[in-house]
Structure formats: structure tokens, C-alpha cells
Structure 1
């Protein structure tokens, strides 16, 4: 590992960051392990570890003695990253509900809380978000002062300064002052990001293609949006609009930004209203005593209902046109369908891939995410953890 710095203070900061990075990715380590991983001198490694212990980022474990043979010299000191030195909060703020996660500094989930939005209006939505945050902190058994940073995902473009685009009414309506509310209430640093971008971070972190260098994640529940990873970095664009695939009315066979869940629901409802003959979908609706939903369409199609299968075929052709557009412009290795609809979207893959092969010579592979409806919240956690890792030595741990 190459370490460079221009002043003693910078050198100390560089050495501490290097050692902390190794320890964060490892289990218990000895000084020798850290020397081999960083190339630093033993005296430097031990001094830095002592500094990190005093700062609260590292624990020292009982010394390691040889399993057999004569004891020579002092037993090796053993160090461990303090994963509970602090926690992070990840929030997904959707149209109908908000979900909060608390994790330790290794990203291990401590608690999850979801709250539906009841009344409309910014004040009511902020109150629901506060309730979800309070509940998840209580369930995790941590205090507000233990939170080092919170990250929030919303279904709107967010620029590099954390500002939400107001160029569409739908986006503007999501700007309800979440950052300011959390900062004022808890004093936390709060990061705001687009939900599809966070989904891409989550997939690259722990998804079906963890560590992928070129990846597109399509959130396609209510509205279509893409998160794009190119050469291992997230593409945002100057106004945060990269991957928004706007103006779909210009794309033949698409026309609107409506996502898979909305299309399946609306097409099924229209079909049921226009047909007198029973289908498996109509039976499901009667048994459930509620309006047809996307889950019913996918379930009916999987059970062989031809009407439901026909709906999915139409949706697959439509999604293939959108994916071919993104594939042509950004050339990702794989496109992952993510979000709540992903668990059922496997039934789309066959016709979708067939249409993609017809539309372009070398289409990207298409897969479905295994992260379910937690994908945005997990991406928010990843963004928060990245912030902690980048700024660890400037953060003050809770007392």
C-alpha cells in the first residue's frame, strides 16, 4: 500500500486511515497482520493502534499466545475494529411509506422500522418519519447521539449539494425538509440521495453482482429510474439526473415513466372490467376482497393464467425498449431489476430478453435483485458508511 503525505500531521492521518481501513475489513488482527497489510513499521503500527484505541475506534483483545512451543518474547497484541463505536441510519422515503434501518459500522442490521404515511402534507409526513426513526433507534437499543450520520433516499434527482430538483411537480412535492428536520432534531450530518442511485450502491455492495464495475439498476415499481455504476463509480450528472430516463413519451412503445407495478395493476384492472369470462386474476380479487394488484398478476401468470401472462408480455416489451435505450447509451454489463417488484419479476425475464435480442446486437444481461424492498434503505446505509469511512478521524464518537 502506497502511503504519501506532506506534513507530519498528514502522515499521521494517512497512517491512521490505512490501518483503520484494514481493521474495518478484517476480524481480529495482530500488529504483524497490520504491518503486512500496510507496509508500515512496527513502531508506527503500534503507535497508531494506541491512538485509535484512545479515540474509541479500536478495541484491544487479550494478547495472543503461541498454541504450542516455548514462549519467546511478549505475546502478540491483538486489535479489533469497534463496530459499535457508533451507528448509522438509512432512510427510504417513498410515496406511501418510509422505512428506517440502523446498522453498526460494519453494516450489520440492528433494527428496521416502517411507517405508512397517513395524512398528506409535509408536517404529517415529517411526523411519520420521526416516528419511524424513534422506533428504530429504540428497537436497536441505541441513542440518538450514537448516530454518526444518516442518509436518506427519495424518488427525485438530488444534485451534488444535496438539493432536490423542482423541475417536475412530483419531485418538488418530495422536498419537505427532511434534512433540516433530522439535523435540527438530532444534530446529525444528513446525506440526501436519489433512490435509484442508492439502489445501485446497495447492489454493488451486497447484491447479485457485488463488486461489479459496470452496472445499471432499474427501479421499476411506481416509476422508472436507473442507478448507474461505471468503472466502479456512481454516475450522478450535474443536476443529479443521470439515469432518470425522462421524456419516455418520445420512445416508441413506451410513452410514460410508469413502472412495472403500476402497469401490471392498471392493465389488469382494465382487462377485468372489460371481460365477463372469469380468469385466475378475477378469482384472486374475489377471494381477497380487494382491488387487483401487481402481486396478483405475477402470481396468476406463474400459475398459467393466459390473461396475466399476456399482461407480462406487454410489460416485458415495454421494459426492453427502455433497457435497450440505457444499454445503448451506457453499455452496462448487467441490468438488475430492483425494488419491491423484483421478487416477482422473474416471470418477465424470458420475453424481456427475447425482445432485447431483437432490439440490439449485444444486449446487457438482465437479472432480478435479491434485496427486495430493502434495496434503497440498504443503499442509504452504504452511503452513510462511506461517509464514516472517509471522515472517521474527524467524527466525534458518542459518549
Structure 2
């Protein structure tokens, strides 16, 4: 048992100073005061002058590594447990990217299961940039229905010179299979779309939505702040009811100091009266961030950092004056609802005990995943299997 005393709770809505009791991997009780038999084995955490929020959900991470656009030496490394937990991430969704050849669905599912064994929650998308979609069972619908960890399709690339350039009909088939697979398994069946710098932008997604019965909420386009034009179109897309995802690791020029600032983009989006519930942040952790010249030639590479996820949320709170309870939604409640992660994203009784404790300066102090303390007082308590 873990008892957190006298802590300010954002669930993500502010519910005031509470005591929170964790038993096993669940939040058992939230109350103004909880008193327990002192003979019980209880870990007590003093929450005075601290803030409790839900554990973070990073729903676009290259857990196997990504890249290779500059040759084999530019393949980025796999993510580790503490790459995630020390930055407050207790749930991660893994995906393949450009390389669906040397990194496979078998590799991805094994990595996901390994992260689960180490103590965090992990799900994955089936597929990669390419069409036809490379799956585990040779069928999108079967993957989603039969494989516990698979919740949708991704990262299918559109509007990018590295894309397989699927037709509208191809995209309809993928969306249909994903949707039915999700319905039959009570999963999201979402299609995570990589948006590149090309001319197509959101057009293919919109054509699918306008000409079929597939709802706009079946898609989750990412990299929506990669350049001004994509961002402008993303705002229009969100006004139609679509979900938009901002990549916190993106290095493309956009808003200020030559770098995209998702915190600023969030403020602009909210000022346009777009519902906060339609917006998520993801890190693109361990993904390669290649740079190409105007002719598509590779000229350099950066790597996505999981640390950027909460950094941009914190910037939204401190620099953009977005209230805590609103800013943290983009990495907690929103992705949980969009991806149908039913026990994630909020601080409620009987939900999974995924918790981040912040100091008053909003620095991460303690991280609890599925009821287990991973980080305590900024020190790693549960380390990677291989150090």
C-alpha cells in the first residue's frame, strides 16, 4: 500500500488537497483524510506543497528506435524504461516508422512486452510508413482483434516523399479494417497518420471522411506543427471535429527561435476556440528527425527526446499561462479517451495507479506506474533490466 497525504490533486481538473491511497496497481481511495491501521505495511508519502497529476501518456514513440535515412549508422537506438519514467511517462504507444524492413512487427511486440514486464503500460500500432500495411497476422483487423497490445494502425505516412503514396481507395480500406477491428475488440482502431511536408497535407484524409461513412475521429494525424502551412491546415481540420497531435521533438522552423514550440501552438489553437479535447502532444521519442534539402537529399539528423513531452506542457503552463488542469490534458485524459485506454489518464478510484508528483515549481519529483514507485524524490528506484 502507498498512502499519499495532504497533496493538491489535479485529476486533471483541480479537486483540492486530498489523501490518495494506492493498493496493488489501483487507486483505491481519494478522500479529504484517510487513516489506516498502523500495523499495516504502508508506504507514506508526504504530499505537502506538492501536486499530484495523472501519469503521462506518450502515444507516439519509436520504442525500437527509428530512422536510417542517412544509412545504417543513423538507425537510432531502442528506448529504455528510464528514458520514459524519469520524464513522467507511465504509458507508451510504440510504432515503426520509415523502416518497416529491418524493424518488424515481431520486434515491436516483443519490445512492448518487455517494457510491460519492467513496469509500465505499453501498446503498439500495427504497420509503418508503408502501404500495404505490414502486419503481424497478415491482416489489420485480425491484428487489432487478436493481439492485446495492438490498438490501431500507424505510423502510416501521407504527404511525404518517403510515403508509399496510397490512393484514396487504399486509405479507405485501411480505415475500414481498423475501424471494424476496433469495434469488435472494444479498442480505438485509430489510424495514426504521419504528415510530411508535401502538398497533399490533410486532403486524402478529408476525402475519405467526405466520401465515406468513416468518421473523422478514426484518424489521428501527427506532426501538425512541422511547418506553418501544416499548422494552418491542422486548425481547419480540428474545426471540423478532427484530432490533431503536436510533436514536441520536432525541429522544423516554425514559431520562434527557429524551432517549433508546441506550447505556443497550443495557446494559438485554444485562442481559435478549438476544444482542448481534440489536441494531444507526443514526443516522437527515439524517432529520427532527418533534415532534407529542397531536392530531398539527406543533410542531417536529430533524434526525438521523450523529455520534450512534459517540457512543452510545463512551458504551456509557465510561459503561455495555460491553466494546469487544461495543459496536462494533452498528455493524460485526451490520449486516454482518443485511444480508449479505459483505466488511464485521470485520477479516479479504481483507475490504474499511474501518478506523477510535482514539486511546486512543477519539476517531476516522484513517478508511480501501476502502483509501483519508479522514481522517488528525483532518484531512479526501478532501473532498466540492462544498465
What TM-score results when the alignment is normalised by the length of structure 1?
Answer: 0.26
- Relative contact order, CA 8 A, sep 6+: which one is greater? 2
Of structures 1 and 2, the larger Rg is shown by 1
| Higher helix proportion | 1
